Each structure stands twice: as structure tokens, then as C-alpha cells.
A and B are shown apart, each in its own frame.
Chain A
Amino acid sequence: MSAVLFFIAAIGALAGAIGVVAIRNPFYSVLALVCHLIALAALFLLLRAEFVAAGQVVVYAGAVMVLYVFVVAYIGGADEPLHRPGGALKVLAPLFGLAVAIELCIAMLGTVLKGVSTDGAPYVPGFGTPAHIGALFLTTYLFPFEIASLLLLVAAVGAVMLARRRRGLEPDEVVAPRAAVPRAAFTGTMAEAAGFRAGPGTTTEPEKQTEPIGAQTSPPAGVGSARDRSEGGW
């Protein structure tokens, strides 16, 4: 039973991994990675690492992949060539991968670790539960735990700094200037009324500001006085 589950999960993980590399559309690559992660969580369950498997599904397949999907949807995932045009890398990369695979297999076959060919240490109840892992995190591995939290903070701040809209680095979008039509007094915003901002109807002469109320009833022949009254204000 365990062997059947292992082979199903392993084939799923390998197929997902190949799909990430071999699918042209980045959006489907992300979905293949989600399949890969879920199959890998099944492998973790077979290795009695329940907490890591849950974290894998919740954090990785849930949160991180949603981030990927958002970015792919933002930049537009179009079909693209699988490899770089006109390079020897197309031939060299699979050769390199094969060489690394053979080397790793040789290292594993020639190992002196006796446990590699066994099913692992005898299972004790409570192995891999959140209680044990939390105790390890807060006692033996307290320093890596704190470093990880600091790293998360730095990454969050760095991502905000990177993705923020900066002036000067990118071509400014042309903002259509608002029509500077004369506007009647007492029709502007509160900021204009309080004198923080010069409204389009007020000019620099002080006598314009102390205009009698009659100016409101007879607005100048501006084009957009009615529009301004409807959209301006509070």
C-alpha cells in the first residue's frame, strides 16, 4: 500500500516538475508547480512529516502560488519559446542535467550510510507533530527561528520598495491637464475656501476674493461652471 502511494506521488511530483519546465505558457507552468507541490506533500506524509506537509500545502500551494498567479496575470502570460534562440544551451542544458543526475545517483549508490536502504528509524508516536517541531524551534533552533522571522520582515519591506511606483525611473504617464476655466467664487473646494490652494476661479488680485455675493448668481461665461459645481465641493 505504501509502495503504491509512493509511486503515485512520485510520478505526480516528477510530472509536475517536467510540466513546469516544458510548458510554454507561464500560467500553466504555475499550475503544474501547484500539482507538483501537492504530490510532494503526499510524499512528506509518507515520510511521517505531517506538519511539514500541511505547511507545504497551506503556505506554498496556497499563498506563494497565489502570488505567482497574480504576477503572471499582471504581466500577461503569453506563449513564448521554450529555449533561447540560437544557443548551444539547448543541447548543453539537458546534458548538464543528466550529468548532475548521474553524479547524484553515484553518490547515493556509493554511500556508506546504512539507513538509505532501510525504511528508516522505527516510528515513535508523536514523530513530526507540531508539538515536537515547536519545541525544537523554541529550544535547540531558536536562533535560526529568529533569523527566519527577521528575513521575512526584510523580504516584505524589500518587496514593497521594489514594486512601489517610483518617479524618475519610468516614463511619466501623460496626465491630461485639467481645463483651467474660470470658475465662479464660492463654488470651489474647502481647501480653496480656506486659502490652502488657489482655485481656478480665484486670481491673484485680492479684490476678486472680496467680491460680493452677486458674483455667485452671475457666473462668468466659463465653459465648465456647471460641471465644476457638480464635481467639486466637499
Chain B
Amino acid sequence: MAIGWYLTVSALIFCIGAVGVILRPNPLVILLCLELMLNAGNLALVAFSRMWGHEDGQVFALIVMVVAACEVTVGLGLIVAIYRRRLPINVDDLSELHG
């Protein structure tokens, strides 16, 4: 398959993830949609790595996975802290920093 097909799939996954981040009110699902966007970036990195015949893109895909794991840990820690304080798990209600 041509590399362009992989890039198309990557672009579609990225857009679905972006729509989910905007649309869903639950921070847990927002984190899941962020994962979708990061994975779309990963797919593009690996596809370009295949296109050039170098492994550099795969190395950075692995780095992106590390960053995603860190983001998940901190994000889920925040959600658990929100839940412990009996606050609503809804980004529209958590608007104290709104200004």
C-alpha cells in the first residue's frame, strides 16, 4: 500500500480525536481522545520512517509513547484527586480558573 493511505488514516484518526476533545464533557474521555491524537501522530511518524527507510521515525514514535504514558498518569491522578474532593467530573463544572 502507498504511504499516502497510511497518512490518510492518520489524518482521519487525528480529526476524530480532536472532535472528541471538543465535544465530550468527561475529562476521562478527553484523555482517551488525546490518546487518539497522539496515536495518529505515531502512525504518521512510522509511515514516514517507512517512506525514507530510516528508523528515526520509529524512535520518535517510541518517545511519543513514553510521553503519552506520562500524560496519562498525571491526568488520571488529577481525575482521582477531583473525585476524592467530591467535585463533579465534568469540565464545564470545573471552571474555577475561568477568570
Inter-chain contact A10/B65, CB cutoff 8 Å:
no
Contact with B along A133-162 (1 / 0, CB 8 A): 100110011001100100110111011111
Q: Which of A30, A40, A60, A162 contacts B77 (CB 8 A)?
A: A162
A49 interfacial contact with B, CB 8 Å: yes
Given the complex, which residues of B lie within 8 Å of A140, measured CB to CB?
56
How many interface residues does B have (CB within 8 Å)?
71
How many interface residues does A have (CB within 8 Å)?
92
Given the complex, which residues of B lie within 8 Å of A67, measured CB to CB?
72-73, 76
Determine the distance from Cα of A115 to Cα of B49 in the docked complex, in whole angstroms.
Answer: 11
Given the complex, which residues of A lie within 8 Å of B46, measured CB to CB?
44, 47, 49, 52
Given the complex, which residues of A lie within 8 Å of B6, measured CB to CB?
6, 43, 47
Inter-chain contact A158/B73, CB cutoff 8 Å:
yes
Inter-chain contact A3/B69, CB cutoff 8 Å:
no
Inter-chain contact A119/B5, CB cutoff 8 Å:
no
A181 interfacial contact with B, CB 8 Å: no
B59 interfacial contact with A, CB 8 Å: yes
Contact with A along B73-84 (1 / 0, CB 8 A): 110111111011
Inter-chain contact A128/B9, CB cutoff 8 Å:
no
Inter-chain contact A96/B18, CB cutoff 8 Å:
yes
B29 interfacial contact with A, CB 8 Å: yes
Report if A127-B53 is in contact (Cβ < 8 Å); known contacts: A52-B62, A155-B74.
yes
Determine the distance from Cα of A118 to Cα of B1 in the docked complex, in whole angstroms.
Answer: 8
Given the complex, which residues of B lie within 8 Å of A118, measured CB to CB?
2-3, 51
A83 interfacial contact with B, CB 8 Å: yes
Inter-chain contact B3/A14, CB cutoff 8 Å:
no
Given the complex, which residues of A lie within 8 Å of B5, measured CB to CB?
6, 10
Given the complex, which residues of B lie within 8 Å of A158, measured CB to CB?
73-74, 77
A56 interfacial contact with B, CB 8 Å: yes
Determine the distance from Cα of A163 to Cα of B18 in the docked complex, in whole angstroms.
Answer: 27
B97 interfacial contact with A, CB 8 Å: no
Determine the distance from Cα of A105 to Cα of B78 in the docked complex, in whole angstroms.
Answer: 36
Contact with A along B36-62 (1 / 0, CB 8 A): 100100110011011111011011111
A120 interfacial contact with B, CB 8 Å: yes
Report if A18-B16 is in contact (Cβ < 8 Å); known contacts: A26-B26, A44-B46, A68-B76.
yes
> Which residue numbers of B lie inside 8 Å of A, CB to CB?
1-9, 11-20, 22-26, 28-29, 31-33, 35-36, 39, 42-43, 46-47, 49-53, 55-56, 58-63, 65-74, 76-81, 83-86, 89, 92
A-B contacts, 27 listed (Cβ < 8 Å): A17-B16, A17-B36, A21-B20, A21-B23, A21-B24, A26-B28, A52-B46, A56-B42, A74-B83, A75-B89, A83-B24, A92-B22, A98-B15, A100-B11, A115-B3, A116-B2, A118-B2, A118-B51, A120-B51, A127-B53, A136-B59, A141-B56, A151-B66, A151-B70, A155-B73, A162-B74, A170-B85
